[in-house]
Amino acid sequence: MFQGKKIGQVKERGIGYKLFIIFSLTTILPALISSYLIINYNLPEEYSKYQLIILLSLEVVIIFLGIYLSSTMAGSIMKAISAIKEVAEGNVSKRLTESAREEISGLAMNFNRITSNLENTIKNLEASEEQMRRMLFRIGNIIASPVDIDKVMQILLSTTVHVLEGDKGFFFMQDDEKGVMSLLVNVNATDEDLKYYENWREEGIIKKVIREKKSVRISINNTIEVNEVLCPIDKSKTSISAPIILGNRVIGVISLADKKNGGEYLEDELFLLENLSSQIAMALENSRLRKNAEKSYFETIIALATAVDSRDEYTIGHSKQVAKYAIGIAKNMGLAQSDIDVLRDAALLHDIGKIGMPDDLLRNTDELTNDEKDLVWKHPVTGENILKPIESLSKLCPIVRHHHERYDGKGYPDGLKGKDIPLLARIIMLADAYDAMRSDRSYQKGQSSEEAIEEIKKYSGFQFDPLCVKTFVEYLETSIEN
């Protein structure tokens, strides 16, 4: 490295030497010849001694002026060369000095303009690289999350379109029922686009991607030869499409169409989309495996909950009845379907914590001892702990834990009061109590619907949430009439 630097310095000094030689040949040499002629040959009489001195003095001045100008120019050029060398080595913030601009202003202005543009370009590339890094980090977090796959794909597609400055984005997913690719999510698709894809059959670029299992990039100057019928992606000026392959099967396609800035998609951007499609394939497979595992776990828990109900002939079907009443209350309250689904599952599993309780305790008709009470009061917490390992069932945990809390704060296990108790837990509390009142026991016959309704009205505001009671009574009265 030292040797290379020394050679560079020699080359820079060589420019000064060359300028000095050129100046010498054009100025100093003629002056020396003139002096030689004047000294060795007779000059015309009209030249006086003083005139000769003046002439020689002028020549000397011109010589020194030339030397000064040449050295200054050489210095400016060497500074410019040094600056160019720094830029070549990576210092794009380098600029020529004021003195250099005065001497070689045209070169300096163009040099500074070039380095300024280069610096801006590098900054933009670094910003884009950072943006890409953030996008990939965000995508990794999204893929690892247990969010519904439709939501995951919408976030991924929106992020990709934003980072690559695309105009539209499409994500197609294999519809096993229809046997074709269907548009799952989109970004900025027009009504015309959506109408086309409603009854779409695989055509154009998407068909080519599926058939060849390869990515396709369409630049502005490309001509479409994949199909005579052009789908919305084919009609775009530029696009990139990548297959999502699981095993040896194409299960989806992700496409971006047109650019907001009017440019075209580059090979690097297609490469990024290909990497993204690989991550999506892994996300879909992980989602499938997770859903299968959770489905098996959920079915196992349901079977266990049913087994708990079946341990006592008087409680067979209890959880299903509680779920039925709870859903009726929720619908009459106008709750969202997503909340109703959570409520249904929580109702089916609300007594799962009793699985560890002995049969004689479940069937006991006498007053419970303190130890027995402690064991009974722990079953909501035990149920919560059974559900905790599965993330998709995490929403059920607070409902199962608190379904024995009373509105007046005298319930268990935490003694919550009023609206501190989750609403869905308050609903199950009421549905559970009503079904218990209506069910026959070994020690007493179940109450009639009218008697049970009067009972829950009596404890409204104490054991039960008044709003839940009002809604439940309306639901029951409507059900009885029907």
For the segment 142-169, what is each residue's pLDDT rounded down to a tens digit? 555 555 677 778 888 888 888 888 999 9
Which range has the worst mean pLDDT, 2-16, 226-240, 341-355, 411-425? 2-16
Better-predicted residue by pLDDT, 86 or 419: 419
Rounded to a whole number of angstroms, the distance between the first and last alpha carbons of the chain is 95
Residue 370, CA distances (Å) to 88, 409, 411 in order: 85, 20, 16
Residue 203, CA distances (Å) to 208, 221, 231, 233 in order: 8, 21, 7, 10
Residue 430 is predicted with a pLDDT of 96
User: How far is Cα of residue 233 from the mean position of the Cα atoms in its chain?
Assistant: 23
Residue 324 has pLDDT above 90, yes or no: yes
What number is the average pLDDT over the span 394-416? Answer: 94
Q: Which segments of 170-264 does DSSP mark as H helices, in order?
A: 191-198, 204-212, 232-235
In the numeric block, which tokens belong to residue 179? 């046997």
In the numeric block, which tokens belong to residue 394? 């995490």
Residue 15 has pLDDT above 90, yes or no: no
The mean predicted confidence, pLDDT, of the chain is 77
Q: Which helix (H) or strand (E) holds 22?
A: helix 2-23
Q: Residue 261's pLDDT band (boundaries 50, 70, 90)?
A: confident
Residue 482 is predicted with a pLDDT of 45
Vertex 394: Cα angle to 393 and 395 (nearest 5): 90
Q: Residue 360's pLDDT band (boundaries 50, 70, 90)?
A: confident
Residue with tokens 């409603």: 198
Which range has the worst mean pLDDT, 13-27, 351-365, 366-380, 404-418? 13-27
66: left (phi over 0), alpha (psi -120 to 50) or beta: alpha
Do 201 and 180 form a contact (C-beta atoms < 8 A)? yes
**Amino acid letter, 369:** T
Residue 343, CA distances (Å) to 95, 322, 401, 412, 470 in order: 69, 10, 13, 20, 19
Do 169 and 186 form a contact (C-beta atoms < 8 A)? yes
Phi, psi of 176 (to 5 degrees): -65, -30
CA distance 355 to 337: 29
